[in-house]
Amino acid sequence: MKKYSKQNIGNAGEYYIASRLSAENFIVTITLGRAERYDILTINPKGKTIKISVKSRFDLNIKRFPLSNKDEKGGSDDFYYAFVRLNEFKKEPDFWIVPSKVVNKILFESSNIYFNKKLRRDGKKYKDVGLRNFWLEMTKTSKELYPENWKIFLKKYYKNIRQLK
């Protein structure tokens, strides 16, 4: 399998989301690293400005997207996350557009459970090193941390650009 740099994977995800938004008549600008938190600034067809942070993964069967504890806060009504699974460029990418306030809440609640209620095998608490995971599919561990209806809940964000309009 061909090896791709993380930078190129990130760029591919950003350009993919930008192309999908452009096809829906959004005005789109990719920040190219010039904005600390946002990868895409866009104006929807109604004239509303929207900021998007794009998280991209290359693998076909990836189940999670790594984030940080910074992503537990700072949400707003005009800020969204786009999670892009590039599927090794073997088929059309999958993507989820999730409001930042939803991502903030999920990460905060799941990390609170993981670091305050869950114990390691030796009975001690896990140390918080600032890493978080946003799960697209449930694993044994994530089922304990996420709402019961997660799969149904996540479905409404799958390839749903309409929510940005």
Q: Which domains does the chain have, with CATH numbers?
A: 6-164 (3.40.1350.10)
pLDDT for position 35: 76
Which pLDDT score is estimated for 32? 83
Max CA separation in the chain (angstroms): 55
What pLDDT is stored for residue 1 in this prediction?
59
What's the pLDDT at 36?
Answer: 80
Run means of pLDDT, 10 residues per run, the chain, 165 residues: 84 97 97 85 97 95 92 96 95 96 93 82 88 85 77 89 91
